[in-house]
Amino acid sequence: MGGLLYKDFVLVKGKLVVTSLIIMTVIYTVLRVVFPEIINPVGYTLVDQDGREFNEFDLFFWMGWIFLFAFSIALLGRLVIDITRDEEKNKIRNYIFAMPIDKNAYFASKFIFIGIATYIFLSLNSLWIVVGSGFSQWEYINDMFSFGTLMSLAMFGAALILAGCDLRMFIVHGRDKAMMVKISVELGVGLFVVGYLFFGDLTVLEKLDLEKIIEWCKDHSFELMMFEILSPVISLLIYYSSYKRTCKAMSRKEVSYD
């Protein structure tokens, strides 16, 4: 299993990915230390509609974890493609199946690798949130970071489920069919978003009040805590079911070893 995981790590240029994430985190941390809220430079103070003041840099660092989340999801999708594309192109899978290993162990290595990557991205995202909130003295900004912490676990759980679906498609149906389905879904979602922006009722977005969302979270803290506890369990169960269904589907297909 360790050899299969290392092979996937090499396929996705893991050293480059890890180095890039470390550099991004160092830059983010240094910027947070250089421009903490306590400096409060003249000209960088914002005032909301209720007359509360807060540092413009706090909003910049609050957006950092959202950027990292979006980047992680895009990178996660890329990892799924990379660990299946090259093997299919170079017939590596047939070579591996010819070796005295359990086919299910091969499939498990794919799911474990993506699971580890998702856990690393989640941990890094949590670190960014801690660093971003580390120098803020405004309660409102701290509440926004707390909201980010709460949402991260559920969002990465959903990302893990989507990655499991992608893995099953790429392994069972091959790259061409899986890419066709993936691109079709992404184009469909993109067209819906563009159509809504042009023809939808955007007043709903104008009325979106982040403060009310935070207050709602405080009022329903127990329910959200239970959701936060249960969401990883539910995500892992669905992810595991994707692995089991992949094994069953591949056994029915009776993969050729030639």
Which residues, in sequence order, are CB contacts of 14 under 8 Å at separation 6+?
A: none
DSSP-assigned states of every residue in 63-127? HHHHHHHHHHHHHHHHHHHHHHHHHHHTTHHHHHHHSSS-HHHHHHHHHHHHHHHHHHHHHHHHH
In a domain, 187, yes or no: yes
Q: Which of 119, 129, 135, 120 is nearest to 151 (CA)?
A: 129
Contact of 29 with 131, CB cutoff 8 Å: yes
CA–centroid distance for 15 within its chain:
19
Structure tokens at 21: 């994430």
Q: 64 to each of 15, 22, 179, 245, how far by Cα in Å?
A: 23, 15, 30, 37
Please state, rounded to an integer, the average pLDDT across all residues of the chain.
77
- Output the CA angle 154-155-157, nearest 5 degrees: 65
pLDDT-wise least confident of 35-44, 60-69, 80-89: 35-44
In tens, the pLDDT along 83-104 reads: 887 666 556 666 666 666 677 7
Q: How far apart are CA 60 and CA 63, in angstroms?
A: 5
CB 5, CB 112: distance < 8 Å: yes
pLDDT tens digits, one per residue of 185-233: 878 887 887 887 777 666 666 666 666 766 777 777 777 777 777 878 8
Helix%, strand%, coil% for the chain, nearest 5: 85, 0, 15
- The answer to whether residue 258 is domain-embedded is no
Work out how many domains the chain is built from and give that number: 1
Q: Tell me phi and psi for residue 45, to 5 degrees.
A: -105, 125
Place of tokens 């909301």: 48
Contact 250, 103 (CB under 8 A): yes
- Find the domain containing 233 and state its range: 2-253
CA atoms within 13 A on the CB side of 252: 8
pLDDT tens string 153-173: 888 888 888 888 888 888 887
